[in-house]
């Protein structure tokens, strides 16, 4: 395996749409690796989109895993994050709620909605 040999597998994207689905991209790579006969755990695959990218750019002491003193950017899923049916329930950025699927105060607004109520 790559990581056993000291490598650092990473799933990343600069595409604004794909970056929102890195969990699905990792799931595809995980399935392909397993189909090729590699024994890869979901924990190892999760590092492809969390700790390994942080390590690659020298930020693994600050972010990429949940440890005391690190920046807490976390997504809570309603299902296994490698499922195409998984939906983000809540997102925390730097430890603060940035999105909550059940709370409209923490949901994105469209450009149209942003202009509503300004003159009221």
**66-111 pLDDT, tens per residue?**
999 998 789 999 999 999 999 999 999 988 999 999 999 999 877 7
Task: Please identify which residue in the block is written with the tokens 């600050």.
Answer: 62
pLDDT of 120 > 60? The answer is: no
94-99: long-range pairs with CB below 8 Å, 24+: 95/71
- Quick check: 105 and 112 in contact, CB under 8 A? no
The answer to whether residues 82 and 23 touch, using CB atoms and an 8 Å cutoff, is: yes
Six token digits for residue 68? 């005391």
pLDDT for position 2: 64
Q: Is 58 exposed, middle or buried (0-12, 13-18, 19+ CB in 10 A)?
A: exposed
Q: How does strand 96-100 pair with strand 74-77?
A: unpaired
Query: Pick the residue with more confidence: 53 or 117?
Result: 53
pLDDT above 80: residue 8: yes
Per residue in 40-65, pLDDT tens?
999 999 999 999 999 999 999 999 99
Query: Which of helix, strand or coil describes residue 117?
Result: coil
Residue-wise pLDDT tens digits, 12-29: 989 888 888 999 999 999
Residue 119 has a pLDDT of: 53
| pLDDT on residue 20 | 86
Residue 69 in tokens: 């003193």
What pTM, to 2 d.p., does this model score?
0.80
The pLDDT, as a whole number, for residue 19 is 86
């Amino acid at each position: 395996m790559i990581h056993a040999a000291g490598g650092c597998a990473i799933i990343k994207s600069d595409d604004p749409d794909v970056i929102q689905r890195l969990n699905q991209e990792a799931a595809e790579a995980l399935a392909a690796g397993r189909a090729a006969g590699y024994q890869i755990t979901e924990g190892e695959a999760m590092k492809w989109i969390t700790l390994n990218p942080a390590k690659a750019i020298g930020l693994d002491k600050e972010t990429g895993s949940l440890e005391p003193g690190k920046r807490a950017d976390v997504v809570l899923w309603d299902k296994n994050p490698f499922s195409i049916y998984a939906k983000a329930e809540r997102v925390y950025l730097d430890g603060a709620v940035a999105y909550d699927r059940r709370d409209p105060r923490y949901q994105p607004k469209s450009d149209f909605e942003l202009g509503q109520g300004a003159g009221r």
